[in-house]
Structure 1
């Protein structure tokens, strides 16, 4: 039995079809934890067991993890909580259920940066790494998918790209770093969930095919979207003001700012890309298949 949390999120929507294609042939049953089952496609609801509720709730994860061999763990963003509470606080009930039901394997979505000098002052990333330690402390075999920023973050900029030909971030225009498509993260997760011959705890970097700077992103977007796109660097103070203006928790806002500062200082730059850590989806392909339709819609 494989349990999938956050099945309607960006990664979960890509992961479920991969598991549905392969798990039945291997004799694997699938169970999903979802707040609103109506958000699952009908073709999916007919093929999985559904546990309704939040996977941050002790009673829900106790039901969900009973009889489970493996769990895909992803904490949904919650800007109403402090970074520690948003990650470790949310995960604590699950760790108790993992131990109680003797779940063997957990594949979780986390971040790059472990072992770097910036890891303990990287805001949301620091909180995510602490969550990994919490899960590993249960004794399960654990693989933390150590991810950089996602291509999909740019979908939040689709209106600005369409209307003004601009996107923003807080890192230096020439700062190169890995970026990855969520579909590639899902593919790595599916492989680990289906072949559970691994033991112990480890991080698995998921790095995309190349490092890119904001200037590189602007160039590729201009080429693929057929319109000029430029990068406008935002200050951390402006970022904090914008997020606070949306009513986000003050500590969470600071966690975002600390993460952005750490990335600008090279948090993600130390990851080594190898055939095992590289993933196939290029930014140009993602722009053509995902960003272009979003900008045109």
Structure 2
């Protein structure tokens, strides 16, 4: 029997890329999501009945017969860890032998970036279940920098002079596919930090954005109070705003600065840097051009 790899989040930017790579490698995949109509139609892939992480029975049915689970972390929420644990319990009950979990660099119970704490608790739970596992700790996404830049051309936040080794979604997907398709136990109980080729400050990110887009982009260093105030109008709950602000503070404290060679080691190609990402993804910064706001 061909081993089945279950892929969650296949309608998203990480899971979707991974699903396509597995399909291209002729792997047997099962795509899992809350809304199956949003999942891609891919050769060699089947679509499970609707299942969300928090619905243990639906997840167990969706995972029945799968050997490996690629678990993309759920969207940030106050109960995210509980939902992750329910999904892990369902995987164990369904007989899944291995979990490859998408985590975050610096995952720790006292991480400055509050959402990274969720990842640490999830990792600990997976470890406690005795299932084979691999953790892919992604750094900040390269796509975030043009997205975080306002139409006024300002990248603002309390990031200080800290550096961030941001990574491309494509590199994460390539690394994940390499791990998932390896039938050996090479990656068991291994934690990979997935980063870009270098670490840069937010001021340097603004300079690169300016050079590539032709639009003057500047970095405005906010205080913590300014950061909360400038995001107050989004209508987000306090825990979410805290996550946004603390991500910058984690950069300021150097918690996302370490550069890893995991991407080239796993994929056989160099990791993509910010300039290359912006050049190859002009749609990510088109909102910065005059007349497109």
Q: Report TM bin, short chain.
A: 0.7 to 0.9
CA displacement at 1:65 relative to structure 2: 1.5
From 118, 122, 126, give the equivalent of 1:131: 122
* Structure 1 unmatched ranges of 5 or more: none
Structure 1: distance between partners of 2:127 and 2:8? 18
- Structure 1 stretches (4+) deviating beyond 6 angstroms? none
Q: TM-score, normalised by structure 1?
A: 0.84
Structure 2: distance between partners of 1:263 and 1:293? 22
* Structure 2 unmatched ranges of 5 or more: none
**Mapping of residues 1-297 of structure 1, within 5 Å:** 1-22=4-25, 24=26, 28-41=27-40, 43-44=41-42, 47-78=45-76, 81-82=77-78, 85-86=79-80, 88-114=81-107, 119-157=110-148, 160=150, 163-172=151-160, 174-198=161-185, 200-243=188-231, 245-273=233-261, 275-276=264-265, 279-292=270-283, 294-295=285-286
Q: Structure 1 residues 192, 241: closer, same or farther in 2, change over 3 A?
A: same
Q: TM-score, normalised by structure 2?
A: 0.85
For these two proteins, the number of residue pairs brought into alignment is 281
Structure 2: distance between partners of 1:132 and 1:290? 32
In proportion to residue count, which structure has more helix? 1
CA displacement at 1:35 relative to structure 2: 1.9
Q: Structure 1 residues 165, 246: closer, same or farther in 2, change over 3 A?
A: closer
Residues 121-163 of structure 1 deviation map (CA, whole Å, 9 limit, x = unaligned):
54111121111111121111111111111011134336x2xx4
Structure 2: distance between partners of 1:234 and 1:59? 46
Q: Structure 1 residues 64, 155: closer, same or farther in 2, change over 3 A?
A: farther
Structure 2: distance between partners of 1:209 and 1:271? 7
Asked which structure has the greater RCO (Cα within 8 Å, sep 6+), the reply is 1
CA displacement at 1:192 relative to structure 2: 0.7
Q: Structure 1 residues 293, 90: closer, same or farther in 2, change over 3 A?
A: closer
